[in-house]
Structure 1
């Protein structure tokens, strides 16, 4: 209303200042300047008609403005009410399309779409959080139960507190420690907080160190481990050698878990103009097509019933997630391929050139 009042005053003042002077000039040009009574009467008629016209125009403008303002305010009010209800729905944990409203305008419609998209992301995050807590509880239960059973056996005198018993307790505590470390690492990697100390690295050296460290475990399980770096030395990549070695370690450990005595694992390192690839192929259990899109998810198991060595500290359930996050942080990719159960699997790291 203040804006309308200011506009009205401005129009009246401008009309009173400019209108009579312009009218008087035209009357003189028309030859009526020597007729003062006629001129005065005409000026008064012009002023009265002008003020009446402006008054009627302002009144109609005010009514139109009030009507338009009420219409727009009502539409905006309905939209804001819908957004407020949507916020309440999200606060109560209902994330399925919380904002429902009729088309109101481009800006408010965009806000509603963005709000619903945000609610969908929150729903996905909440589902991941719940699954993470459930899976974490499951992963922790096994080592905790092993520790508890071992301690009870020692207390009851069933098991002596010898080196073998202490090794079992240490193995399970290391498994818990590794689980905590892995969860911290994968969260840091996914949030872009992973500390990378990059340098020019020969990927063949990293792979040789990883295969050397894994050789004993492979030998105990009767699984062949082969390394092929090609005839030409691979090109160097700019990477954190410790983190890159962690990825190769995880892939070798994962391959061993899916192999039995007599199977084999082969690592190939190749370079080309687009970068360097490290492929870890095994002849183990393989992966069904429906599981392939999920193998890099935290705690995902293609075969929940697959036995794990209870004495092992490996297999925390997040190794592949960490590996993919680390490779992504280096600007590369980590992919998996398998023709199905019983055909083995191949995990391929692709890194850009240095």
Structure 2
């Protein structure tokens, strides 16, 4: 890949250099050609003026002296002819040359001469410059100069050489930069590819192919990294599935022996002597704790293995969160009162709303909700929401402490339903907040109270499976709050009825 990237960068830099150098060279050649043509045309016009003066005086000696001096100075031949084409002064021009004859004939006819093409280092050594003698209405002859292009071509070659050297230097600089850039870009990729390949080699081969490699092309190195990542993702997915299946199978396999052990312990209880009764009761509690732990693992495996789209919620997969909260308060009120605590519901919801978030105010008819019966339709079944709410309520009842008050707030906002279970109890240490939804984690305040550490992870898994979120936050000045966000159910509004 480094070679291909280097080639691509070099090609682009070469095109950029050529796009700058070629127009510069052509502009320099055009400018030098114009300078050359203007100089020789001026010389020819000067000789034409001298020829008019000589014709008026009837003496060509001064004209011949100027032509010979010009040839000696510049090494270029000059020819002057009269109106009939008869040579007047000839300083080295071959009159038999057809190109010379054609240029003189065109000048005697006062025709515009053909433009001189752009001079290049390989252009002809001489160029014919012809000009008429006399006025536009009365042409008395013509002047022709065989101009040498050696000096102009040498200047053009010098400019082109400088531009070529500069282009080569620029190409060398760009190539070095491309090499450094390619190494800088690809060094992390090479390290990543090696690390991923080494890690993938230790993972079990995933079932099925690697769709990223099949669907997309690209350089071999990137395809190798994509294939390694795809294999690693598939292996992680298979491992997570195998983990959930292992937990599920293990819990199922152990429940029967534990049930049999419980029955045997119950049958042994009358025969246990008094001095062994504490040990027997401890063993019974451990069996019950293990049974509860297996039940929690089963529930967690089921919760983590479920998922659905809130946009396609079945008819029975939605509930009124306000009513579910009222039911759970009725179910837990006795337990809270026995523990010396208070459990209340705070009316923090808006006027009646539909699941889509539109206010029901102004609707009429037999199906219209009354203003005293607000609803907050959530995309979850009543049983699942009750199972979720039981976790923070159980924790508050067991860990908040005597005289603590627990408040449940339901808020229906646009597109979601928010349930907040907050208490003013002892709370937890700030460093433990982020770990409360971790499996088997139990805070320092719960060390002396029974529990498996799976309640909040199960509730979080159930909420996450429904594209919601569960967060645990501290309450000022003290206490703990569990905030549950669930998507609102998209329930069509009932038809309106008009009594008239």
For normalisation by structure 2, the TM-score amounts to: 0.40
Which of the pair has the greater relative contact order for Cα pairs under 8 Å at 6+ separation?
1
Give the number of equivalent residue pairs. Answer: 247
Gaps of 5+ in 2: 1-193, 205-218, 249-260, 352-373, 490-500
- Does residue 252 of structure 1 match 2:366? no
The residue that corresponds to 1:307 in the other structure is 448
- Does residue 212 of structure 1 match 2:315? no
The residue that corresponds to 2:431 in the other structure is 290
Counterparts of 2:338 and 2:410 in 1: how far apart (Å)?
Answer: 25
The residue that corresponds to 1:273 in the other structure is 414
- Does residue 190 of structure 1 match 2:300? no
Gaps of 5+ in 1: 1-80, 92-102, 133-144, 310-314
The residue that corresponds to 2:457 in the other structure is 321
Q: Deviations over 1:126-158 (max 9, x none)?
A: 9999999xxxxxxxxxxxx99999988754421
The residue that corresponds to 1:109 in the other structure is 225
SS at 2:293 equivalent: helix
The residue that corresponds to 1:100 in the other structure is none
Counterparts of 2:203 and 2:220 in 1: how far apart (Å)?
Answer: 22
Conserved? CA contact 1:178–1:316, under 8 Å: yes
- Does residue 261 of structure 1 match 2:396? no
SS at 1:234 equivalent: coil
- CA displacement at 1:124 relative to structure 2: 9.0
Q: Which of these residues, 443, 464, 471, is aligned with residue 335 of structure 1?
A: 471
- CA displacement at 1:301 relative to structure 2: 1.4
Distance 1:286 1:211, change over 3 A: same
Counterparts of 1:107 and 1:288 in 2: how far apart (Å)?
Answer: 47
Equivalent residue runs for 1:1-354 within 5 Å: 89-90=202-203, 105-115=221-231, 155-158=271-274, 175-192=289-306, 198-230=316-348, 232=351, 233-303=374-444, 306-309=447-450, 315-338=451-474, 343-354=478-489
Distance 1:288 1:121, change over 3 A: farther
* RMSD (Å), alpha carbons: 4.9
Q: Deviations over 1:157-203 (max 9, x none)?
A: 21899xxx99x95x876654443332222212212269998344221
- CA displacement at 1:235 relative to structure 2: 2.4
Higher helix share: 1
Counterparts of 2:246 and 2:484 in 1: how far apart (Å)?
Answer: 30
* Bigger Cα Rg: 2
Conserved? CA contact 1:287–1:302, under 8 Å: yes
Distance 1:329 1:270, change over 3 A: same
Counterparts of 1:128 and 1:288 in 2: how far apart (Å)?
Answer: 31
